[in-house]
Every structure is written in C-alpha cells, then in structure tokens.
Amino acid sequence: MICSGRRAPRFAALLVVPVLLVGSALAGCSAEAQAGVAEGTVDVMASFYPLQFVAEQVGGDRVTVRSLTPPGAEPHDVDLSPAQVSRLDRADLVVYLSGFQAAVDDAVALTSPDHVVDAAQDTTLLTSAQEHTQQDASGDPLADEHDRSALDPHFWLDPTRMPPLVQDVADALSQIDPAGAAQYAANAASLTTRFEDLDAAYTDGLTTCRTRTFVTSHAAFGYLAGRYGLQQVGISGIDPEAEPSPARLAAVEKIVRHEDISTIFFESLVSPKVAETLASDLGITAAVLDPIEGLADRSDDYFSIADRNLDSLRTALECS
C-alpha cells in the first residue's frame, strides 16, 4: 500500500518486530497523518537539531521537517524507536551526520532512503588531536587523557562550515521537488548570508580579549575555538557522559588558577553538577555555553543561541 505517492517500506521484510510491518491498511496512511506531515510537502527527517534547522530554513513552507532526536534530548547516544525507523524509510529526504549517532547510521544503512544528505560529506571533521595542534602549538597538558583519535562532530559551531551543508540540502530538495527549486535557492542564499554575518560578529567580538582560554564541561567547542583563535579546555572529552578523573579535575583547576579564568561553562542538555561544583570550589562563576545540539527552549533557534554564546564568551574572556 502506498499513501500520497509514498513508496511502501523496503525494509519491512527484514525486520521481525511486528510494529514495523507498516504495510497493512491501518498502519500506512494513518501513521503518516499522525506523524504530522503536512499534505503536499516534502517529508524530511533530520537526525538532530542543527541539521533540522538547516532543512527548515532552506525548505520553508514546502517541507515538513522532523527530528529523530526529541526536543531537549542529548543527541550523542540517541536510540530510535521502531516507529522512527519506519518514518525514516518513508521520508523523501534524510539529513544526518554519519559517525555521530550509531543508531541513525544503522537505520540509514537498513532502510537506504532514496535521497540522503550526509553532513560529514560537506565538511572535514577533525579529531581531538588535530584540534589541539591547531589551537595550542605548545601542547595542551590535558589532551592525553582524551581519546585523541575520536572525531569531533560539532562542526556546526563554526558558522563558516555550514554553507556547504545548506547548499547540499537545497540541491537535494530541488531534485525531489523541482517546482520549488527557485525558492530553495533563495532560502539557501539568505541562510548562507546569515552564517557569514554570524562569523563576522564572532570575529569582531572575540578579537581583543584579556584571555583566550575557556573551560567547558565537555569538549564540544573545538571548531569554534579553532576558528576564532581560542583555547578550549574540556573537563570531559567529546563524549559529554564521560566522567573526568581526579587527575583531570586537578589539572583543570591548575589551568584555571594559572590563566586567572573567571568562568566554567556547562551546557543546557547535560547535568551541570561537575562544572558547578568545580566552579564553586574555585570561587568562580558557572555559566551556560550551549553546543546547540538541541533546544531546551523552543522559543530559541540556532542564531539566538549562537548570539548568547558570543555574549557569554565575551564576558568570560573579558573582551573589549
């Protein structure tokens, strides 16, 4: 059974979980309606918020974009329900970042959607070791405790890395919906200009600062630091769930005192306990620096959070 021109799921025969067998008359069209896909729009599935945001901005009112990562959830270790895998297979376009969310990688491989944008093909992902080489030629005394071979997925925090993804999404949507090609191109150009303006604001705002070192609860800001000549010190590594050792906490404390750092940053989607406790022990401030992995407040978007991040960095680094 095919609803509104959508193909029947290719992967149903491969799965033994009954709820995934969506070929029945009751499961097909009703599932699509309940999923909230507006009739006549391109159905886009994005793996987590920054990719969802790009698809929404480029697609405008011609698309319905849903995220595989629930609002307010931390995306690193997301699990997919059978219903989500079913929707992934039925989507007109899937936008994801390979190597970031294992469950999404597995689902994409299983379902083989007709149109896929892999953000990893639109940028060069760096390892922790490469980031430290770029940011600190003298060597970071904290780097060795992290897995320095692990790829850092957080490329979206460098706005100059976003336009290739924007263009890739526009091209994919134009293939699926040729009638909307002009609108997608115009939206992509407008969004690219906003990323360029954001980069200019960060460049200007972070040019003259008392210190260029900032401490974060996890090392999500390597691309941002590399772009603007800053030094990131992560209490935990790229994985936000990794527990720092006592030796690492002592090393962070030493850097805070040596660099006269005034603020330890934590993020909105992960427990702030370690960062707040360390800041309290050192008699300094704990504040939010958001890696924009998801929205804690739906009134926000990528740019409003990025603007607040810039204000927070300028305050913490004492920029003029």
* Predicted local confidence at residue 261, as pLDDT: 97
Query: 103 and 71, same structural domain?
Result: yes
Domain of residue 247 covers 126-152+206-317
Tell me the C-alpha to C-alpha distance, in Å, between residue 2 and each of 59, 115, 128, 134, 265: 24, 18, 46, 52, 50
Could you give the CA distance from residue 287 to residue 275 in angstroms, rounded to a whole number? 9
**In this structure, what DSSP letter does residue 40 have?**
T
**In the numeric block, which tokens belong to residue 303?**
């740019």
Question: Looking at residue 233, which CATH number applies to its domain?
Answer: 3.40.50.1980
Buried b (16+ CB within 10 A) or exposed e, 258-283: ebebbbbbbbbbbebebbbebbeebe
Q: Rounded to whole angstroms, how far apart are CA atoms 272 and 312?
A: 16
pTM (2 decimals)?
Answer: 0.87
Residues 141, 80 share a domain: no
Same domain, 49 and 148: no
Residue 294 in any domain: the answer is yes
Beta carbons within 10 angstroms of residue 25's beta carbon? 9
Domain count within the chain: 2
Residues 6+ apart with CB under 8 A from 284: 256, 261, 262, 263, 264
pLDDT of residue 30: 43
Q: Is residue 296 assigned to a domain?
A: yes
Domain contains 39: yes
d(CA 62, CA 60): 5
Same domain, 311 and 276: yes
The Cβ of residue 298 has, within 10 Å, a number of other Cβ atoms equal to: 8
How is the chain split among helix, strand and coil, in percent rounded to 5?
50, 15, 40
Residues 39 and 166 in one domain: yes
Q: Can you give the pLDDT at residue 133?
A: 58
185: closest CA among 43, 50, 59, 46?
Answer: 59
Same domain, 262 and 238: yes
Structure tokens at 261: 């750092």
**In a shared domain, residues 168 and 144:** no
pLDDT digit of tens for each residue in the chain (320 aa)?
A: 223 334 444 444 334 333 333 343 334 444 444 457 889 999 999 999 999 999 999 999 999 999 999 988 889 889 999 999 999 999 999 999 999 999 999 999 999 888 999 999 999 999 876 776 555 444 444 444 556 667 899 999 999 999 999 999 999 999 999 999 999 999 999 999 999 999 999 999 999 999 999 999 989 999 999 999 999 999 988 887 778 889 999 999 999 999 999 999 999 888 899 999 999 999 999 999 999 999 888 899 999 999 999 999 999 999 99
Residue with tokens 């490469």: 130
Residue 4 resides in a domain:
no
Do both 50 and 137 map to the same domain? no
196 domain-assigned: no
23 and 139 assigned to the same domain: no
Tell whether 31 and 51 lie within a shared domain.
yes
What letter represents residue 285's amino acid? Answer: T
Same-domain pairing of 116 and 140: no
On whether residue 89 sits in a domain, the answer given is yes
Specify if 54 maps to a domain. Answer: yes
Asked if residue 3 belongs to a domain, the reply is no
Co-location of 24 and 66 in the same domain: yes
